[in-house]
A and B are shown apart, each in its own frame.
Chain A
Amino acid sequence: MHIPDNYLSPSTCAVFTAAMLPVWYYSIRKIKMELPKDKIPLIGVGAAFSFLLMMFNLPIPGGTTAHAVGGTLIALLLGPYAACIAISVALFIQALVFGDGGILSFAANCFNMAFVLPFAGYYTFRFIRNLFSSSAGEKIAILLGAYVGINMAAFVAAIEFGVQPLLFTNSAGQALYSPYPLAVAIPAMLLPHLLIAGIAEAVFTLAIYEFIAKVSPGLIQDNKKQKLNPIFALLIVLIIASPLGLLASGTAWGEWGADEIAADASLGTALGYIPAKIANGFSYDALLPDYTMAGMSDVMGYILSAVIGAALLIIVFKIIGTFVSERKRTV
């Protein structure tokens, strides 16, 4: 769900940064007011924990593995505001140190995973638990909260992707950023989350929560202070639901033809196409001569090609060098 740079337009990123600034501000204020001082270091620890959590691979029936984000879990344990800051910090490190998720799209990623996910998960949990207060009810509330949280986040991410071709195209009507319309982006993002990642998140959240509840119940009761704020919950629902209006007015992307065909192309059969198209489509060697001529002088293009070529050669040999020296080492 980590959106890299260039999938979203800089203006979209700016919008999300503008949206996240008050969220961060309010969360930090909330934390300063409500979280006891001795729990402040917990935010950093929570961030480290969520960072690790994303590396834990869960076995999924059928032989694959999936990992969780843990947003709902952290919200359950530390409250949604602390979860928001903790996950933002984790995302920041992932973006900056590991190139996981973009720099410009950092705020958008935070919006999805540090805002929508923990808050939607947390309030879904509270809502369901208030309906059924039995212990089975709590389990279901945790499972559903985590499941709803991560799928909401995926859904919002899909909308961010999906509106790009509606808003940003060049004069020929071609997309400048993410090229998929909502009709493709939503099923493409949601299906894997509904079927795999969502289940992983739900199962994981429950398993860890139960472990902590059994071993150290005091930790969880501490967090019962927060009250369900219905207005706030409603606001979130509205924010999340508002792009649905876009969906309903559906003519803008009708021109891409039958939704099913487009969706099929982006999911199942995508791999089947590649080999045939690579041959005469895009290839790295062909790209250079084609495009260098277009924008700059011959001399400039020549120099540029020379620099790239020479640098590439050096890099290739240096990489080969590491393999040779590593082999020597093991013998």
Chain B
Amino acid sequence: MKEKEQFNVNNKQPHRDIPMWLLQNDDYLPQKDRERYLSKTLLGILGRLIHFRQQMQIQTESFFSVTFKLIYVFLLIFSIALAHTITFLLLLLAGLLAYICLLDGRQILSLLKPAIGAMVFTFIIIVPAIFLQGTIVMLLPFKVFLSTLLVAALSRSTPFYLITKALGGLHVPSVFIMSLDLTINYIVLLGNTAIDLLQALKLRSVGRNTGKYESMGNVLGMTFLKSQEYAKQTHAAMLCRGFTGEYHVVQQHHWQKKYIIYTMAIMLLLVLFIHIEGY
């Protein structure tokens, strides 16, 4: 009952009068303006954020350890770069296609999109060179396709925090790894901030914006200021939990039988490469 009273009494803070124009409806017809930069940016950030969100939900159980996957992908990319003949590349293509055809359609699409994009881009760049150099340069788009597909497959099968952990095991400096961990978290956090601000900008972009650069700069400036705040808070939180400036990545290595299989997989790759490429 107390609340009811509170609302019936109308003299707590006498309000000033509502401006007259607020009580009438505007008859407003907007001017045309370019908006593509805004919607493109919004979509771009949204797409990547969704990717990160999915990335964090990846199933982690796998026979192959992340460190092994990382090394193997690196070796494969290295051999792709060194390959002179198409045979080896076709062999890899067959293996990769066989692997991804086990995935479900949406995953396949998310792997093929960047790979085909990179290949087409390379192809367009390379076209004039065919006149100069003949068809050997045609290997290039194919190689780019394979490398991109490999990296995409790695990132779709391994959550990022495991990759940073594996890097720690490979003795990458701790500042770098800490920055990586923080970056991943903050991309999502700052991404959400940026999206909110961009949406606010969009909702109030009701006519012709003569200062588009300025508005975009403001949104990003604001995002940066927020990032400062977040960083300060993170640091405070880290201090409270005993952070002294060193960041340790815990990594344990025990001999496991599956390492034999890892070694065999690497040997197989090397033997095939050397045999086919004729070194």
A and B in contact, CB less than 8 Å: yes
Residues of A within 8 Å of B100, CB to CB, are 311, 315
**Mask: chain A, 102-115; 1 = CB below 8 Å from B; 0 = not:** 11100000000000
Total chain B interface residues with beta-carbon distance under 8 A: 107
Contact A207/B217 with A104-B77, A262-B132 known, Cβ cut-off 8 Å: yes
A179-B133, A215-B221, A287-B86 given; 20 more Cβ-contact pairs under 8 Å:
A10-B81, A24-B173, A24-B176, A37-B235, A40-B178, A44-B186, A45-B183, A47-B180, A58-B212, A97-B160, A103-B73, A103-B77, A175-B129, A176-B84, A211-B218, A212-B225, A292-B87, A296-B276, A304-B91, A308-B97
B217 to A204, Cβ gap below 8 A? yes
Which of A31, A180, A206 lies in contact with B175, CB distance below 8 A? A31
With CB as the reference atom, state the residue of chain B lying closest to A31: B175
DSSP class of B's interface residues: helix, strand, loop or mixed?
helix
A265 to B131, CA, bound (A): 9
Q: Is A22 an interface residue (CB 8 A)?
A: no
Q: Which of A49-57, A121-129, A148-156, A230-238 lies at the interface?
A: A49-57
A273 to B228, CA, bound (A): 50
Contact A9/B176 with A179-B126, A311-B97, A321-B105 known, Cβ cut-off 8 Å: no
Q: Is B55 an interface residue (CB 8 A)?
A: yes
Interface size class of A (residues with CB under 8 A): 35 or more
B235 to A40, Cβ gap below 8 A? yes
B7 to chain A, nearest CB (A): 38
A209 to B214, CA, bound (A): 11
A311 to B101, Cβ gap below 8 A? yes
B85 to A295, Cβ gap below 8 A? yes
A6 to B190, Cβ gap below 8 A? no
With CB as the reference atom, state the residue of chain B lying closest to A6: B143
A6 to B222, CA, bound (A): 39
With CB as the reference atom, state the residue of chain B lying closest to A65: B37
Q: Which of B23-31, B39-47, B252-260 lies at the interface?
A: B39-47
B86 to A4, Cβ gap below 8 A? no
Give residues of chain B (258-279) contacting chain A, Cβ–Cβ below 8 Å: 276
Residues of B within 8 Å of A88, CB to CB, are 176
A170 to B136, Cβ gap below 8 A? yes
Q: Is A99 an interface residue (CB 8 A)?
A: yes
Give residues of chain A (1-43) contacting chain B, Cβ–Cβ below 8 Å: 4-7, 9-10, 13, 24-25, 28, 31-32, 37-43
The number of residue pairs between A and B whose CB atoms lie closer than 8 Å in the complex comes to 317
Give residues of chain B (173-215) contacting chain A, Cβ–Cβ below 8 Å: 173, 175-176, 178-187, 189-191, 194, 212-214
B180 to A308, Cβ gap below 8 A? no
A327 to chain B, nearest CB (A): 13
Interface centre among B81, B115, B151, B190 (most CB of A within 10 A): B81
A270 to B180, Cβ gap below 8 A? no
Q: Is B130 an interface residue (CB 8 A)?
A: yes
B108 to chain A, nearest CB (A): 5
A321 to B181, CA, bound (A): 36
B114 to A98, Cβ gap below 8 A? yes
Q: Is A119 an interface residue (CB 8 A)?
A: no
A95 to chain B, nearest CB (A): 7
Can you identify 27 A-B contacts, CB atoms within 8 angstroms?
Answer: A5-B80, A6-B140, A6-B144, A6-B147, A10-B78, A24-B173, A41-B234, A42-B228, A44-B179, A44-B182, A44-B185, A55-B41, A63-B36, A65-B40, A92-B180, A93-B183, A96-B155, A97-B160, A98-B155, A174-B134, A273-B127, A273-B128, A281-B135, A294-B86, A304-B91, A308-B94, A311-B101
Residues of B within 8 Å of A52, CB to CB, are 45, 187, 190-191, 194, 220, 223
Q: Is B98 an interface residue (CB 8 A)?
A: yes
**Mask: chain A, 70-96; 1 = CB below 8 Å from B; 0 = not:** 000000010000000110111011011
Residues of A within 8 Å of B179, CB to CB, are 43-44, 47, 85-86, 89
Which of B94, B160, B212, B227 lies in contact with A59, CB distance below 8 A? B212
Residues of A within 8 Å of B52, CB to CB, are 97
**Mask: chain A, 214-229; 1 = CB below 8 Å from B; 0 = not:** 0110010000000000
B97 to A103, Cβ gap below 8 A? no
Residues of B within 8 Å of A273, CB to CB, are 127-128, 131
With CB as the reference atom, state the residue of chain B lying closest to A37: B245
Interface centre among A13, A103, A206 (most CB of B within 10 A): A103
Q: Is B170 an interface residue (CB 8 A)?
A: no
B127 to A274, Cβ gap below 8 A? yes
A294 to chain B, nearest CB (A): 7
B90 to A48, Cβ gap below 8 A? no
A281 to B129, CA, bound (A): 12
Q: Is B249 an interface residue (CB 8 A)?
A: no
B86 to A89, Cβ gap below 8 A? no
B154 to A96, Cβ gap below 8 A? yes
With CB as the reference atom, state the residue of chain A lying closest to B175: A28
A176 to B182, CA, bound (A): 39
B82 to A318, Cβ gap below 8 A? no
A103 to B163, CA, bound (A): 14
B144 to A4, Cβ gap below 8 A? yes
Instruction: Please provide the 10 A-B residue pairs with the shortest distance between their CB atoms, ordered closest to farther.
Output: A207-B217, A44-B182, A211-B221, A295-B87, A318-B105, A311-B97, A48-B186, A179-B129, A265-B128, A322-B105
Residues of A within 8 Å of B78, CB to CB, are 10, 104
B141 to chain A, nearest CB (A): 9
Give residues of chain A (277-308) contacting chain B, Cβ–Cβ below 8 Å: 277, 281-282, 287-288, 291-292, 294-296, 304, 307-308
